């Protein structure tokens, strides 16, 4: 298990990742790594696996917990305790209902914060940790202990909000303090850009922070960890290059890994020398990256996606310590790196794209301008979206106005934050569409700051009412000039 997801010691850094070459050297090396990253202004989030161990099912090895106190540390079948409940797909599930298991987890979390100085945790298959009898419970003992703990409650808590058991998919249902991998964001954004009909409504919700998932529990856009790709599944390049997984190298007859990937190969499976297909794939990668970095919430990008990394269609490389998972620095896509860096800089420079509160649609008056809401959804012809427009099953294009004067948060001096206003136009059709820029109350003139088709003139100013052609499957972002 190259990724280290089959744990047996919750306090020990994996020595195979260490270059120290001596027993225990990985501890000092880990601390040094964290210190160096902190000096560079980079936080460290530790991916922790408390839902199962490497002891596996009833046929697995006895390494520690099984031999110490099997029934306390593991969830056993009620009707035959020889066998293990398996909510994780690994053969066993840790018994988080038992106080000793809970103490072990909490002691481990505190250790990694106080001794190793990590800044937070991503909890693998976190739904398993919240199961009481069988169901996932927001009032579980695990959540209660985390929320009461003076150390653990103060760091970043990120849930992978699902497991493989009944009722395990819990996106949007974790309690306050918790952020979540937003699996619905991933699925919806993939569907929109591969041209699935009837996705505009949910796409708009995911783009604006998923208030339908997180606002009801008092959480804010930062609760949504937005992602399109992760270590599980395709890389970004493979997402636009393969319709099917190709996991033959894993030795399981291609039966492992997710089969429903919501991917689209743009016209050919895998490598091709077709210029049009390659151009479309490159545009699709830019579409995904631009959508990710300009969505409300917290963007998470898979390592190497900005470089064009491929795993040759393998979507389950946990067992591959070779070229499939390594980065080939000699084959990086410099244009993609530059495009990604420009998105990061745009997001960093403009709080419009990283609001601390959800949009509310209320009109905003600042100065002498027209009264406009903090967000307005528009059709390609520049009209405000109606319920009929939202309900259209075939519509695949939409624009959204983000009012830079409608940010309700304040800065460190207590002054209200203001920013430029932006217009984002999305064309999910395979054919070109002309977007009519909205009337002068929105802006008198606009300038393009992002164009995933790379065809527009970013020096040109566009006036209200102008027709802006968008090629099929592309997006543009325009900044208000006046």
Nearest-10 Cα torsion for 261, 303, 222, 211: -20
Q: Name residues whose C-beta falls within 8 Å of residue 111's C-beta, 6 or more positions apart in sequence.
A: 11
CA distance 301 to 293: 9
Beta strands at 372-373 and 363-364: parallel, antiparallel or unpaired:
antiparallel
Is the distance from CB of 312 to CB of 324 less than 8 angstroms? yes
420 is catalytic: no
Going by their DSSP bridges, the two strands 45-48 and 120-123 should be labelled as parallel
Token pair 């110490």 in the structure block, residue: 68
SS3 readout for the chain: CCCCCCCCCCCCCCHHHCCCCCCCHHHHHHHHHHHHHHHCCCCCEEEECCCCCCCCCCCCCCCCHHHHHHHHHECECCCCCCCECCCCCCCCCECCCCHHHHHHHHHHHHHHHHCCCCCEEEECCHHHHCECCCCECCCCHHHHHHHHCCCHHHCEEEECCCCCCCCCCCCCCCCCCEEEECHHHHHHHHHHHCCCCCCHHHHHHHHCCCHHHHHHHCCCHHHEEEECCCCCCCCHHHHCCCCCCCCHHHCCCCCCCCCCCCCCCCCCCCCCCCHHHHHHHHHHHHHHHHHHHCCCCEEECCCCHHHCCCCCCCCCHHHCCCCCCCCCHHHCCHHHHHHHHHHHHHHHHCHHHCCCCCCCCCEECCCCCCCEECEEEECCCCCECCHHHHHCCCCCEEEEEECCCCCCCECCCCCECCCCCEEEEEECCCCCEEEECCCCCCCCEEEEEEECCCCCCCCCEEECCCEEEECCCEEEEEEECC
Q: Which of 55, 86, 124, 187 is catalytic?
A: 124
- What is the four-CA torsion angle of 81, 82, 87, 89, rounded to 10 degrees? 180
- Which two tokens mark 422? 């932006």
| Annotated catalytic residue within 55, 160, 187, 202 | 160
Distances, alpha carbon 64 to alpha carbons 18, 23, 53, 60, 68, in Å: 23, 20, 10, 12, 6
Active site residue 80: no
Catalytic residues: 124, 160
């Amino acid at each position: 298990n190259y990724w280290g997801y089959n744990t047996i010691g919750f306090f020990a850094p994996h020595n195979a990742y260490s270059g120290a070459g001596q027993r225990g050297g990985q501890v000092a090396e880990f601390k040094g790594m964290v210190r160096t990253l902190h000096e560079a202004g980079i936080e460290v989030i530790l991916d922790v696996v408390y839902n199962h161990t490497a002891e596996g099912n009833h046929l697995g090895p006895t390494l520690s917990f099984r031999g110490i106190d099997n029934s306390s540390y593991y969830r056993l079948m009620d009707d035959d305790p020889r066998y293990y409940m398996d909510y994780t797909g690994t053969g066993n599930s840790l018994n988080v209902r038992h106080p000793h298991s809970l103490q072990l987890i909490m002691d481990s979390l505190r250790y990694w914060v106080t001794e190793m100085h990590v800044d937070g945790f991503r909890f693998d298959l976190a739904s398993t940790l919240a199961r009481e009898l069988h169901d996932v419970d927001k009032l579980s003992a695990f959540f209660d202990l985390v929320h009461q703990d003076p150390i653990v409650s103060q760091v970043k808590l990120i849930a992978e909000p699902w497991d493989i058991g009944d009722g395990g998919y819990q996106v949007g249902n974790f309690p306050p303090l918790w952020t979540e991998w937003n699996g619905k964001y991933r699925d919806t954004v993939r569907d929109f850009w591969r041209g699935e009909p009837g996705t505009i409504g949910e796409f708009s919700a995911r783009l604006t922070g998923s208030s339908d998932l997180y606002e009801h529990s008092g959480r804010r856009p930062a609760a949504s960890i937005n992602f399109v790709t992760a270590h599980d599944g395709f890389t970004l390049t493979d997402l636009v290059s393969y319709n099917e997984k190709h996991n033959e190298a894993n030795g399981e007859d291609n039966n492992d890994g997710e089969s429903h990937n919501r991917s689209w190969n743009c016209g050919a499976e895998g490598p091709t020398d077709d210029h049009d297909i390659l151009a479309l794939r490159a545009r699709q990668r830019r579409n995904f990256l631009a959508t990710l970095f300009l969505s409300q919430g917290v963007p998470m990008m898979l390592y190497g996606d900005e470089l064009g990394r491929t795993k040759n269609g393998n979507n389950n490389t946990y067992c591959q310590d070779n070229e499939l998972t390594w980065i080939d620095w000699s084959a990086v896509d410099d244009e993609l790196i530059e495009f990604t860096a420009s998105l990061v800089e745009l997001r960093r420079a403009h709080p419009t794209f990283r609001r601390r509160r959800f949009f509310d649609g209320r009109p905003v008056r600042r100065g002498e301008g027209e009264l406009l809401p903090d967000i307005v959804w528009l059709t390609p012809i520049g009209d405000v979206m109606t319920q009929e427009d939202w309900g259209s099953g075939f519509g695949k294009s939409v624009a959204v106005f983000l009012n830079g004067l409608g940010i309700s948060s304040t800065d460190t001096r207590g002054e209200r934050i203001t920013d430029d206003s932006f217009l984002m136009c999305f064309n999910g059709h395979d054919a070109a569409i002309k977007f009519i820029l909205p009337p002068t109350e929105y802006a008198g003139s606009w300038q393009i700051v992002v164009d995933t088709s790379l065809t527009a003139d970013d020096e040109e100013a566009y006036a209200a009412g102008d027709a802006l052609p968008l090629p099929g499957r592309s997006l543009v972002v325009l900044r208000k000039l006046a």
